[in-house]
Structure 1
Amino acid sequence: MPGMSTVSAAELLDAWEAGWGRDPLRRGLALLGVARGTTPAAAADVPVGRRDRGLFALRAALFGTAVDAVSRCPECETEVEVAFDQEELLGRLGQADPEACDAVTVREGDREIRVRMPTSTDLAAVLDTGDPAPEEALVRRCAPVGEPAPAADVVAEAWVAADPLVDVRLGVGCPGCGLAWEEPFDIVGYLWAELDAWGRRTLLEVHELARAYGWTQAQTLALSPWRRQCYLGLVGT
């Protein structure tokens, strides 16, 4: 992905720490900031679909493309495994429309209205105010100032048509009762869960190797994951 930088283990630990105790939106910004070599504040102004495309690219670089998740049937509450390859998913969704990467045009009556694609800054503003109608509030933020905002459902359809990553949904079927439904897939939450597990494992590795060899965190992280595992296997022998 253009703008994607090589991420070190130390930078990932910093992003993990920065996102700790924050809401999912801010966690996503911390991750994207690391991936792009910029700040979370700068990442907040990236359109949501482009943001998530960057997070998919970061995840592929860190953990691979296979996704294994679990959903729950809304009818019988059976746990349903959801497994797919994210590259195949992204291929089916297609690329964002280059003509509408930053804004879309919707028609309402005899009006044509240019509406910005939503950014994390827009989402944060709506979430922080606790607006009882968040979809309408989001459209109002992205519509031209001083003009009546178009219908939220019309704008939402236009956003997804321009960039399908604005709202990723997976077709899921229950093996128990046969119910079929669409499950939203949140790359921010999924990637954060993987990073959290990785961060905990990495700190344990640093702790064990520091205790055994007296190495600093920087010295331990400078080793490749394979070599760290080799040294860990020697501890206690």
Structure 2
Amino acid sequence: MRALSAGDVLRLWDECRDTSPEARALVLAAAADDGTVSVPPAERPIGRVTALLLRLRNALAGPRMAATVGCPGCHGTVEFQATTEALLALEDKIVDAPPPLLHGGYAVDWRCPSYEDLRTMAERPEADDPVRGALLLLERCLLNVRHEESAVADGAVALPAELREALSEAMASADPLADLLVDLRCPDCEHAFTADFDMAAFVWAEVESRGRRLLMEVDALARAYGWSETDVLALSEPRREHYVRIVTGESP
């Protein structure tokens, strides 16, 4: 995708500030969507949206990503790094139309979870319970269930636990970008743990940081030169930074 202009970044910041995490992820992903796929991002597998977010992050700040998480053992800070290229390599493994799952006499037609599912689940109070929430999400992704040629009408709750587990594993395999997990070890206490890498939150933090910085630059240059916001944002990033250094007394 093309690099985003300063104006694009501010528009994204304005549009996303007061939205839910699910809606925000879709707005950010749309900024990287080339429009060649007819299915809306909200209805694609979650990993397809994650891939768009990775492309947006690459356009904003390049391929290298650094993040920190809290250690559950000692509550210290653990740093880790990743690259957009390595994660985007997993996009080729996403299965948009997975085959039926055959298990223990059952034949299950299913699809991968989408952001529309997450957005709908966020509005249901019972989804706050992790067990109930996982069951509800599984329910939404069932298309058709048969047992020894007879239809099963009671949904996910009627399925054996082994089948639900097999279905969850199939979903994870069909969309490896849906849930980014990072295996880490704390350098302070040696505690090993797995952290969830929230790509949407990571990209939003970058957009928010850049948006605030751009407003400060606009304010500084408008006060110094009388330029409008449009004038300041039309400058290239290196030239805008050069003018800011002059105004603030730093070496240009």
Structure 1 residue 195 corresponds to structure 2 residue 228: no
Match of 1:101 among 77, 96, 99: 96
Alignment RMSD: 2.3
CA distance in 2, matches of 1:236, 1:176: 40
Normalised by the size of structure 2, how large is the TM-score? 0.82
CA contact (8 A) 1:46 1:119 kept: yes
CA distance in 1, matches of 2:230, 2:237: 13
CA contact (8 A) 1:105 1:113 kept: yes
- CA drift of 1:23 comes to 2.2
- CA drift of 1:224 comes to 0.9
Higher RCO (CA-CA < 8 Å; seq separation 6+): 2
| Counterpart secondary structure, 1:68 | strand
1:137 matched residue in structure 2? 136
Q: Which amino acid aligns with 2:11?
A: D
Structure 1 residue 30 corresponds to structure 2 residue 27: yes
CA contact (8 A) 1:104 1:158 kept: no
1:67 matched residue in structure 2? 65
Moved more, 149-158 or 198-207: 149-158
2:237 matched residue in structure 1? 225
Match of 2:121 among 126, 136, 157: 126
1:164 matched residue in structure 2? 176
Q: Of the two, which has the highest radius of gyration? A: 2
| Counterpart secondary structure, 1:75 | coil
2:185 matched residue in structure 1? 173
Normalised by the size of structure 1, how large is the TM-score? 0.86
Runs of 4+ with deviation above 4 angstroms = none
CA contact (8 A) 1:47 1:102 kept: no
CA contact (8 A) 2:117 2:140 kept: yes
Structure 1 residue 210 corresponds to structure 2 residue 222: yes
Closer/same/farther in 2, CA of residues 219 and 103 from structure 1, 3 Å limit: farther
CA contact (8 A) 1:170 1:185 kept: yes
| Counterpart secondary structure, 1:95 | helix
Q: Which amino acid aligns with 2:239?
A: R
Closer/same/farther in 2, CA of residues 80 and 12 from structure 1, 3 Å limit: same
1:183 matched residue in structure 2? 195
Point out where structure 1 has 5 or more consecutive residues left out of the alignment: none
Residues 147-169 of structure 1 deviation map (CA, whole Å, 9 limit, x = unaligned): 43355432221122112101111
- CA drift of 1:12 comes to 2.1
CA distance in 1, matches of 2:34, 2:219: 28
Number of equivalent positions:
229
- CA drift of 1:53 comes to 0.7
- CA drift of 1:128 comes to 0.6
- CA drift of 1:120 comes to 0.9
- CA drift of 1:143 comes to 0.8
1:76 matched residue in structure 2? 74
CA distance in 2, matches of 1:101, 1:182: 27
| Counterpart secondary structure, 2:188 | coil
Point out where structure 2 has 5 or more consecutive residues left out of the alignment: 145-151
CA contact (8 A) 1:5 1:36 kept: no
